[in-house]
């Protein structure tokens, strides 16, 4: 299990912003682990990436996708949309 998924399991956050270009095992692995954990399956994941990977992120279960650098207003909008969904 990646460190990010392990920390999320312990903290049970209301949402996760996940950079997919991670050094350790990669954000895609972390995203798959988050979706595979019963206690985390309902936690919204917002994927952030420098590359245009929106289709992949949403296809793997992300709740939203943001391009880096992440604009504060775009992040707040994504979080608000997740709360109302």
Model confidence pLDDT, tens digit, residues 50-69: 889 999 999 999 999 999 99
For residue 2, what are the contacts with CB-CB under 8 A and spacing of at least 6? 22, 24, 25, 29, 30, 33
Pick the CATH number of 3-84 from 3.90.650.10, 3.40.50.2300, 3.30.70.20, 3.40.640.10: 3.40.50.2300
Instruction: Write down the H helix ranges in 1-85.
Output: 3-11, 27-36, 54-59, 72-84
Spatial separation of the C-alpha atoms in residues 48 and 68, rounded to whole Å:
6
Highest mean pLDDT (candidates 2-6, 11-15, 48-52):
11-15
In three-state secondary structure terms, 81 is helix
Spatial separation of the C-alpha atoms in residues 13 and 9, rounded to whole Å:
8
Whether 24 has a pLDDT exceeding 60, the answer reads no
What pTM did the predictor assign? 0.87
């Amino acid at each position: 299990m990646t460190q990010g998924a392990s920390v999320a399991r312990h903290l049970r956050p209301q949402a996760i912003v996940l950079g997919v270009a991670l050094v350790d095992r990669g954000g895609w692995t972390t995203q798959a682990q988050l979706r595979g954990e019963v206690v985390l399956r309902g936690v919204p994941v917002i994927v952030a990436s420098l590359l245009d990977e929106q289709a992949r992120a949403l296809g793997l279960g992300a709740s939203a996708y943001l391009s880096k650098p992440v604009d504060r207003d775009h992040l707040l909008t994504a979080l608000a949309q997740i709360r109302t969904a």
